[in-house]
Chains A and B, each alone.
Chain A
Amino acid sequence: MIKRSSWSIPYLVFMLVFVVLPLLLIVLYAFQDATGRFTFSNITHFFSDSDSLSTFAVSIEVAIENTLICILLGYPAAWILANQKYNSSAVTVVLFLMPMWINALMRTLATAELFDMLDVPLGKGTLLFGMAYDFLPFMIYPIYNTLKKMDKSYAEAAEDLGAAPWTVFWKITVPLSLPGVMSGVLMVFMPTVSTFAISEFLTNNKIKLFGTIIQENINSSMWNYGAALAFIMLVIIGITTLFQGADQTDAEGGVI
């Protein structure tokens, strides 16, 4: 009988070429100058360039705000959806996921034009609204999933030990749903930092996010500086994933 573990080899090779090597190339280009010599100048340039730094700061700020908004709006929604008492149909859940099937750029542009029609000036407020609108489903779904899968006997045990419903919620439901919140954060925070196009459309180019400057540099053939910016982002991703814990098996990959 053939050893079926060998079936992972084609994919391993594929990933080495298309996942690992490209990431190494980001590192390589980040530490090279235009002529291919080793240098730290790309990184030092970032930390000395006030424009880049302030874009970075704004991106992080917007991402934190957006993540918080998504949790605040999304957690109650996920809780209601997962609660049999309030919602018995899967259709409502699907309704929350459905906008994801419509082109994100198109939705964003429509949002921007909707603001335009309502005479709302484009800026930070519209950016946050539009972002929340784009990312809310990514927060609701993993939380909904953990809540739905949560063993009901934990809540019952707490109630049995004398906890009133509100206490059960804060002492049992919320702590036990944190893994879902964390994967929601993972699906919202970094993508917010890295968006380009969306922030431009929603603010009429007034607010640039980190993704936009990466894209601008790559598109204007400043590959090394673009790679350096991407490298900085990779470092942040590495740190946030470490915070998430090494256990990635819980992360909800699927969104259907």
Chain B
Amino acid sequence: MTKDYIIDIQHLSKSFGDVKVLDDINFYVRQGEFITLLGPSGCGKTTLLRQIAGFVNPDEGRILLDGKDISGIPPHKRPLNTVFQRYALFPHLDVFDNVAFGLKLQKLPSKEIEARVKKMLKMVSMTDYEDRSVDSLSGGQQQRVAIARALVNYPKVLLLDEPLAALDLKMRKDMQLELKEIHRKMGITFIYVTHDQEEALTLSDTIVVMNEGRIQQIGTPTEIYNEPVNSFVADFIGESTILNGTMIRDRRVEFMGHEFDCVDEGFGENVPVDVVVRPEDVIITGSPEGAQFSGVVESCIFKGVHYEMFVDTDKGYELMVQDYDSFEPGTTVGLSINPDDIQVMRKERTCNVLEAEVTGEGLINMLGCEWECRVPEQFKQGDKVLAEVDFGKVDLLDNREDGKLGGEVHFLLYKGDHYHLTILTDDGDHLWVDTDDIWDKGDLVGIDILPEDIKIKSRND
């Protein structure tokens, strides 16, 4: 183990009941680093933080602090401190006693306690508030006290659990700057949890993007923004258009019906890929001449600094474009994208591959129910097989009762000319669906698949 890893997390897993909230988490934190765990609610980031703090015990895996396993150590013996989500300031103690709480437990001389508390309150600009009751403070002030209360103990690592979530936008921006400043002054390692991607990009040295209990990507803010490794990260961080494409050969990719030069290599030839285009990277000009392709402006909204436009491209795709100039709806415009602004990502999957079992003549069991389909002769009843279903061949119905089974729209991506949905079935299986219909996250749907759209394969292939 390298010495400058203050925290090293190895193969951490945790389930609550049947739900796996953390699945084989591995990452390390360098001494003095500001690292952010970023993800949508329910992605496991808070559970991960609580495991580091010691409030939750991992099912599997280890947490090393300075190279020593701290998994079995109770929270009060860990040299880490936490800033809690809603601050958790003790309502029966005043500001001074809240901040002094940890120092008093260490039985430090009262002079030293007083000096350290005052110094820390000064650092968070809360001098003169010592005797105030915590209930009389504003959200931002409570926030400062909570940070002082944790930092006054000089923890090896400061854990922050969505500390700014309860503040209003203006206050949040101010506090972000102050946090960054405190981090710089104290030199203490910060592990920060948030679901706000902008906050993560502003504050962090390193971002760990999480979703559904897994780490999606670890990198600097620039890496995460410019080179997302999959469509989840691309969609979650910043605004982007994610499109289906084909890698024709190295440095050449096709999407939206056109071929583009790009900088990516090593995908192979004629391989389906996902392509990410950031709206600010699309160059928009008043005439199609000299541009890579053309389109017609469909809508244009002023967003404060720039204009946000939706453009119908010549091949029928919809593309989001941000520019400082505005173009009237109906205008024909020229569009171009620089090679290094095209981010190509390997597709995680190209069709649904489901585990199934042959249950009879032309019948299989998958996703917890029986389906009719053409079963090749080589398979007999009881054989375990794989069933392939194209994204576009899954029918979604308005009423979950009308489908063979029910599910919920769990995640959705707009891919320029259609939606790519992740459906969570009633039994907890995932199904990916391409559709032209508009659904919302959380919609309950019925699921049906026609017999001819299920292709059976051997599991050995």
Contacts and interface: CB of A to CB of B under 8 A. Distances in A.
Do A and B touch directly, given a CB cutoff of 8 Å in the complex? Answer: yes
Contact of B75 (A156, A175, A176): A156
A161 B53 CA distance: 11
B81 A176 contact: no
Contacts of B77: 162
Nearest to B53: A160
A167 interface: yes
Nearest to B75: A159
Contacts of B90: 154, 157-158, 172, 176
Contact of B76 (A154, A164, A176, A178): A164
Contacts of B91: 154, 176
B105 A156 contact: no
A219 interface: no
Given A158-B90, A159-B75, A160-B75, A167 B105 contact: yes
A109 B58 CA distance: 56
Interface in B75-117: 75-77, 80-82, 84-86, 88-92, 101-102, 105-106
A13 to B, nearest CB: 37
B55 interface: yes
- Please indicate which of the listed interface residues A161, A163, A172 has the most CB atoms of chain B within 10 Å of its own CB: A161
A156 B55 CA distance: 8
A76 B59 CA distance: 32
A154 B81 CA distance: 13
Contacts of A176: 90-92
B200 to A, nearest CB: 23
B278 interface: no
Q: How large is the interface on A (under 10, 10 to 19, 20 to 34, 35 or more residues)?
A: 20 to 34
A168 B76 CA distance: 10
Contacts of B101: 158, 161, 163, 171
Contacts of A178: 92
Given A159-B74, A161-B102, A163-B105, A175 B82 contact: no
Contacts of B150: 160-161
A171 B81 CA distance: 18
B149 interface: yes
A156 B53 CA distance: 10
B75 to A, nearest CB: 5
B425 interface: no
22 contacts: A153-B85, A153-B88, A154-B88, A154-B91, A156-B75, A156-B84, A157-B82, A157-B88, A157-B89, A157-B90, A157-B149, A158-B90, A158-B101, A159-B74, A160-B80, A161-B102, A161-B105, A161-B150, A168-B76, A175-B92, A176-B91, A176-B92
Given A153-B84, A157-B88, A157-B149, 15 more contacts: A153-B85, A156-B88, A159-B74, A160-B80, A160-B81, A160-B150, A161-B105, A162-B105, A162-B106, A163-B101, A164-B76, A167-B105, A171-B101, A176-B91, A178-B92
